[in-house]
Amino acid sequence: MSVTRDMVATWRGPRAVMDKLLSMGHREDRALAFLMGGCALNFLATWPYAVRVEEMTGVSSREQITGALFLWVFIAPLFFYALAAVSHLVAKALGGKGSFYTARVALFWSILATAPIALFYGLLRGFNGDVAATNIIGGLWGLSFLFIWVKSLIEAEKDV
């Protein structure tokens, strides 16, 4: 199945998709591709708001986009690797049987699977600014990410 189909299927059954991804074998390059794809899409989601801020305040969108690029391409991947390691250690303390690799796949896939909502949220911020409806979508994005990540992590840490 293609990545986009797996992303859609994740919204219906995150554990089934995670089981499928983990059954493909230990492939660190696949996990890294999930992370870099998710970070790239989240970086793109910042562009509309950067343009809005430039039009409203005169602050160069180029500076904002450069900052977002640095954040999403250099800092966020390091943070997510550390977060995946911590989540595995917590899961292991609670009886998880997975590995650091399975915890990374669970987190990185969750980032990629929820990236379409991040793009939608970024588009709304660009058009509407930080109004209540936009913030609701942002909250839904955060909650959906947490839901998919927890379900994926449960599957990744189950008895192998």
Residues 6+ apart with CB under 8 A from 130: none
| 29-38 pLDDT tens trace | 999 999 999 9
What is the C-alpha to C-alpha distance for residues 119 and 42, in angstroms, rounded to an integer? 7
| 64-90 pLDDT tens trace | 899 999 999 999 999 999 999 999 999
pTM: 0.92
Phi and psi (nearest 5°) for 49? Answer: -70, -35
How many domains does one find in the chain?
Answer: 1
| 40-59 pLDDT tens trace | 999 999 999 999 998 888 87
User: What is the extent of the structural domain holding 39?
Assistant: 3-156
